[in-house]
Amino acid sequence: MQRNDARDEWKFDAVNLQGAMKAKVVYQSEERIFGFSARSREYIEYSATITIKDSGKKPVSIKLSFVPPHPYVFDMPLTRKVEAESLSQAFAKIAKFFRGFGFEMR
């Protein structure tokens, strides 16, 4: 910690705080998530990286990346990142994301 006399404020040294704030990865996995549209009878596939950390406000994160081919009716986003407090909340967010495009998780 250093004191700045001109403003009479305290400044924290970022080097000292950098190591203390970093959360450790407890679990990481590569998965595939599928969606099905009953209207168009098409399947979509996302490759997902599930990461769970030991601390933080939202320790669970899932990075989705679309696996081609694109469905005929919908233009799906190529990437999506979901952060949540638990794994079940993360999958609920993914299900809601799929429903927005007319797909259901399979």
Q: Compute the distance between CA of residue 93 and CA of residue 85 in angstroms, rounded to an integer.
A: 11
pLDDT confidence of residue 98:
94
CB of 42 closer than 8 Å to CB of 73:
yes
Q: Compute the distance between CA of residue 2 and CA of residue 16 in angstroms, rounded to an integer.
A: 11
pLDDT confidence of residue 88:
96
> What is the residue extent of each domain of the chain?
23-105
Q: Compute the distance between CA of residue 50 and CA of residue 37 in angstroms, rounded to an integer.
A: 24
pLDDT confidence of residue 10:
52
Residues of the chain under the 50 pLDDT cut: 13-16
Q: Compute the distance between CA of residue 34 and CA of residue 106 in angstroms, rounded to an integer.
A: 5
- Tokens found for residue 85: 């407090």
Q: Write the pLDDT tens digit of every residue in 16-33.
A: 455 556 889 999 999 999
- If one counts every other C-beta atom within 10 angstroms of the C-beta of residue 99, the result is 12
Q: What pTM does this model have?
A: 0.75
